[in-house]
Amino acid sequence: MVFYSGGDGEQNHTLDKELLRLCQNKSPRITFIPSCSFDGESDFQEFVDQYSSHKIYEFLYFPIDVPSDRVLQEEAFKSDVIHLGGGNTFYFLKHLRSSRILPRLKEFVKRGGILTGLSAGAILMTPSVATASIPDFDCDENHENITNLKAMGLVKFEFFPHYKNSKRYDIELKSYSKNIKHPLYACPDGAGIIVAKGVVKFVGKSFGFYQGQKFKLSFV
């Protein structure tokens, strides 16, 4: 699994390379799931531009907030990599649930598929989407009124994307970390986390928050 915080292709070059190293197929088949179909095509375009520089061409666009046919669904889960796009975490979670894709994604990871996510997409791979509600000054709107914040729980940490190493972020994140049982990993844009065979590896300058304390994480 790869957790992208945010940023553009150039910023994420190292993470992309790490991801491709994880793939056994030299020309992996990648499915892109946008968080919302409103801007989904533009996000897809950016995504394709980012990976086609690595000579990858086999992409599938799979929006889940619109109904899809069986053929597209089956093809999506035959991929080597499934990427969950960035956007509004609550909207994304609502539609992943209503389209019944969540269990299929978990199953996909279980049988060795590589699941990646950017920002909202990455948060959804963790036990909870609560981090999308913090900090107060830069959080996702919960227009969907989602009260059950449980996400896929594929890892035992929570994820905070677009982190800025500043006091006002730290106050909120320290406070938040006091009330959760897992550590919270915060990554700035361009940084991220790779989880493979039970090993957690940080790419780029990342930080952890646990029981009200902040700590630096060693990274590549």
* Residues near another protein (CB under 8 A): 29, 36-45, 48, 52, 57-61, 63, 66-67, 69-72, 75, 78, 87-88, 90-91, 140-141, 143
Q: How far apart are the first and last CA of the chain?
A: 16
In the complex, what is the shortest distance from the CB of residue 131 to another protein, in angstroms, rounded to a whole number?
14
In the complex, what is the shortest distance from the CB of residue 172 to another protein, in angstroms, rounded to a whole number?
18
In the complex, what is the shortest distance from the CB of residue 208 to another protein, in angstroms, rounded to a whole number?
25
58/170 with CB nearer another protein: 58
Asked whether the beta carbons of 11 and 185 are under 8 A apart, the reply is: no
25/211 with CB nearer another protein: 25
10/69 with CB nearer another protein: 69
The beta-strand segments (E) located in 75-131 are 81-84, 114-118
List, in order, residues 6 or more apart from 6 with CB less than 8 Å away. 86, 118, 119, 161, 162, 189, 190
In the complex, what is the shortest distance from the CB of residue 112 to another protein, in angstroms, rounded to a whole number?
19
Residue 209's SS3 state is strand
Asked whether the beta carbons of 151 and 131 are under 8 A apart, the reply is: no
